[in-house]
Homo-oligomer: A and B are copies of this chain.
Amino acid sequence: MASSSSLNLSQATLSRSAAHQHHRGSNRPASLTTSSLPTFPGLKSSSRAASTRRRSVRASASTSRRSVRASAAVETLGTTATELIDKSVNTIRFLAIDAVEKANSGHPGLPMGCAPMGHVLYDEIMRYNPKNPYWFNRDRFVLSAGHGCMLQYALLHLAGYDSVQEEDLKQFRQWGSKTPGHPENFETPGVEVTTGPLGQGIANAVGLALAEKHLAARFNKPDSEIVDHYTYVILGDGCQMEGISNEACSIAGHWGLGKLIAFYDDNHISIDGDTEIAFTESVDTRFEGLGWHVIWVKNGNTGYDEIRAAIKEAKAVKDKPTLIKVTTTIGYGSPNKANSYSVHGSALGAKEVDATRQNLGWPYEPFHVPEDVKKHWSRHVPAGAALEAEWNAKFAEYEKKYSEEAAELKSIISGELPAGWEKALPTYTPESPADATRNLSQQCLNALAKVIPGFLGGSADLASSNMTLLKMFGDFQKSTPEERNLRFGVREHGMGAICNGIALHSPGLIPYCATFFVFTDYMRAAMRISALSEAGVIYVMTHDSIGLGEDGPTHQPIEHLASFRAMPNILMFRPADGNETAGAYKVAVLNPKRPSVLALSRQKLSQLPGTSIEGVEKGGYIVSDNSSGNKPDVILIGTGSELEIAAKAAEELRKEGKSVRLVSFVSWELFDEQSDAYKESVLPAAVSARVSIEAGSTFGWEKIVGSKGKAIGIDRFGASAPAGKIYKEYGITAEAVVAAAKALC
């Protein structure tokens, strides 16, 4: 790895980590942080030779790139171009074979079959800077068939990414390595998104391509295409079978994401055997129905020119995404295991590795990269640096001419929030009109979108129920991609994964998405990946309890709050009124590496005295108290729409002479993170008389109310009836709280 460029990576990493740090501390207002806007430095270390190559590379832009690259390749090679490419492709294959063999675990089949398209993409087509994996204008690549991650690790290694050194390849699937069993964006710079669960990656890619199209439409000028990159994906039969991919590809077709180019690894093998046993649809026809341009590369094993021609054709189709069906042989090169499920997910075994070495004429030691292959790939470090430097220069020009747009774009690239953004959040007094938190949420969304340039989102066909429309913007559509209201259709799972893609496109993009809270069940796999991959998506989840009434049990969440409280690295909020809703949004925006879920009411709620944004930041806090010495007779705890009920009960009990503390428990995760002293100040250990009320499962509440306390909740399914009736029948009432409290104190 060229050490001369390591400074640039450090700078880039530093810049990214500063941006995130800036967001991160939820108790630290953005305006008080000291980090400055990123400087977009030119890469001064790039050599003259590199700049020369850069110019030739840039001259080849878009359609003519292929032929230029080919000639560039010829001049650097000792062997013929095709021989060298074969060698490079086999290097990829054997790095995968060797790493899986050493780990005795992993998936060699896909890398062996997809090495040719991987080679063409990373060596000939994609624009990236290996020493700054976070360069904004890079082409994005997503391996949706994430189990084949050795393909990507091999490519990152050859391309010169510092994240995947030879030692990392040897540590494949080992504790603490940069080369985990599936691609993890938070482990391996150069990996854009976390994949593995099938279908997620193609949906992420739709989000990445959406982000590009949106930003290009907003920021590009006739004299400066400052945003301009492609999004490439490799997906397999498994991804194709998953419903999420159909959802995402349907909306991608609708949106006309012309710079999304997906390679479908058509190898006819899945874990259980030939796809004939379960997957005989015509994928081509389906994608035509979805509004995609479809190309078939019949020889994906050695047909480099076919692959190149397909990409060229795909780029020429600007109003549709393209699916390039590439027919490959899984485990290509393995004489006895190719084209069988046995090569999908297991090491080949020493004997078959030998046979494959022989079959492909590969005399090298494990993990060896032949010198000529190394030399061939070595140009990507200077070329990538040059690409970024050129873009930086272009941006400097852009900034001079379009200072306002440049400032917005910088904020989106860096993730730095505009000073004082949080002042835009509305505040409320007890005199403010009662309102549903879904409506109060809409006030927050609209307030934030005005001050945060990267704030955008929408609903899965429930905008008018979720109250998620940004009133000052139109719809993001094929012909109006500069707008910020996303219309996802009834595609919750795709929506979540698309938002992960948007969030991970640029640190300053803050996507929100919405449906009824119960339908998080449709998108839970994507939400978990938000949490795992540190994608700070904001999930606006309305109709959060039996309070939605007549739609009945299929629409009434019960166990959902508990299910997210149990999930790592996600913030579950259940705000009670306007101030708490604003507080939830504040924390959500300040946590770009943790997704947030806001459970919001359909029904009107009072604005309660004592609620606050600051309170929300602590997760649990005292809303009102008539006790002294931290020794109330009883502590009443509520969340969301039931805080009001708990407040009524508190009032009643106080009238009867009790000292009652009312606590809002809006976010368990945030409360967990507070100091022991703070926790004791809210829930003193000596006070065991505690009653909680929440219109959801009591599962988990023992932790808060203790074994002597009482958790009022709902441990069965809901019912279809007007909301008030269900509340009464289910015992979610102030009377029940009063009775429980009296039984305890």
Query: Which residues in A have some Cβ–Cβ distance to B below 8 Å?
Result: 103, 105-106, 146-147, 173-177, 180-182, 184, 194-198, 237-239, 241-247, 250-251, 253-254, 270-272, 275, 277-291, 341, 459, 461-465, 475, 477, 487-494, 518-519, 521-522, 524-525, 528-529, 531-532, 549-555, 558-559, 562-563, 565-569, 697, 699-700, 702-703, 706-707, 715-717, 719-722, 725-726, 729
Contacts and interface: CB of A to CB of B under 8 A. Distances in A.
Nearest to A285: B289
A479 to B, nearest CB: 12
B559 A563 contact: yes
Given A197-B519, A281-B254, A697 B566 contact: yes
Contacts of A554: 146, 182, 184, 194-197, 529, 532
B551 A196 contact: yes
A278 B476 CA distance: 10
Given A271-B464, A285-B289, A490 B241 contact: yes
Which 6 interchain pairs have the tightest Cβ spacing? A243-B243, A285-B289, A180-B720, A278-B489, A286-B289, A175-B721
A235 to B, nearest CB: 11
16 contacts: A105-B722, A175-B719, A176-B721, A194-B554, A196-B551, A196-B552, A241-B489, A243-B244, A243-B246, A253-B281, A254-B279, A271-B463, A285-B285, A563-B563, A563-B566, A569-B717
Contacts of A703: 702, 707
Copies of the chain in the assembly:
2
B464 A272 contact: yes
A196 B559 contact: no
A275 B282 CA distance: 25
Given A243-B243, A702-B703, A461 B271 contact: yes
A182 B461 contact: no
A44 to B, nearest CB: 37
A181 B720 contact: yes
Nearest to A278: B489
Contacts of A524: 521-522, 524
A459 to B, nearest CB: 7
A307 B410 CA distance: 58
B289 A487 contact: no
A105 B521 contact: no
Contacts of A282: 288-291
B243 A487 contact: no
Contacts of A272: 459, 461-464, 487
Contacts of A699: 562, 565-566, 699-700
Contacts of A489: 241, 270, 275, 278-279
Contacts of A198: 490
Nearest to A719: B175
Given A250-B279, A272-B464, 14 more contacts: A174-B725, A181-B550, A181-B720, A184-B552, A197-B518, A197-B519, A250-B281, A275-B489, A281-B291, A286-B286, A521-B528, A558-B566, A558-B567, A562-B699
A243 B493 contact: yes
